[in-house]
Amino acid sequence: MEHLEELRKRIFRALVYIILGWVVAFAITPYVYDFLAGPLLRTMPAGAKFVFTHATEPFFLKFKLALVLGLILVMPLIMREVWGFIAPGLTKQEKRAVKLIAPFSAFLFFSGVALGYYILPAAFKFFLSYLDDYPDAQLLQNPAQYIMFVVKMMFAFGLGFQMPVVLMFLAQVGLATPESMWKYWRHAIVIIGFLAALLTPSGDAFSMLAIGLPMVFLYFLSILLVGRIAKKKRRQQALRVETKQG
């Protein structure tokens, strides 16, 4: 019951943080909208423009965008509540591992988000090149659909970049070794291709390659990181054996 009461309090505080973050984000949403609209605005052909198709769409676009931005702003506070709940049940070694991995995970996530935003102009330029095949057509883009697409794309890149963290965790619990990762690297590339197709909201080949190629690079980088973890675990096991024999 004490744990449930603690969980209730932390969930309540997290909800308060989300509401406060949404209020703050609601005020700065226009600037974020301009930032997210930039990749398409820079590649739009002459005559193309954003067009709302329903009277309620301007409000709901701002509502959704403010909610997403608010979650991002208060995520450190939410993670502090999560950490405060689970930390008492962890050992010193587990706490040290989480403290080391958490900044690395955040760095990878925001690196993926930045890459996702960076490739958007090239992606839209590729898509819009097919507009020439329809000489009588004109682009009238719904801004709500566009902004949600951009947010999903950036989030997909950030999520895909978490692969080294997952593999390091599997290595820590003994489910992944550098030897097995080298042995099954072809299988891993096939799985990465499947994940790239699953993560990208558009499902097109350009976006899949844009997220899949960095994930392949991160996979081989993860082999080095997993190798360090495996080496450290073997050293600790050897030390334990020597201590028992001594």
> Which residues are CB-contacts of 241 (< 8 A; sequence separation ≥ 6)?
none
* H helical segments located in 42-91: 57-86
pTM: predicted TM-score of the whole model, two decimal places: 0.82
Does 14 score more than 80 pLDDT? yes
Residue 40: Cβ within 10 Å count: 24
pLDDT digits over 185-242, tens only?
Answer: 899 999 988 888 888 877 677 778 888 889 999 999 888 888 887 787 777 777 777 7
Phi-psi region of 159 (alpha: psi -120 to 50; beta: other; left: phi over 0): alpha
Rounded distance between C-alpha atoms, residue 67 and residue 142, angstroms: 19
Question: Among 1-15, 24-38, 51-65, 140-154, which is the least confidently predicted range?
Answer: 1-15
pLDDT digits over 123-141, tens only?
Answer: 888 888 888 888 888 889 9
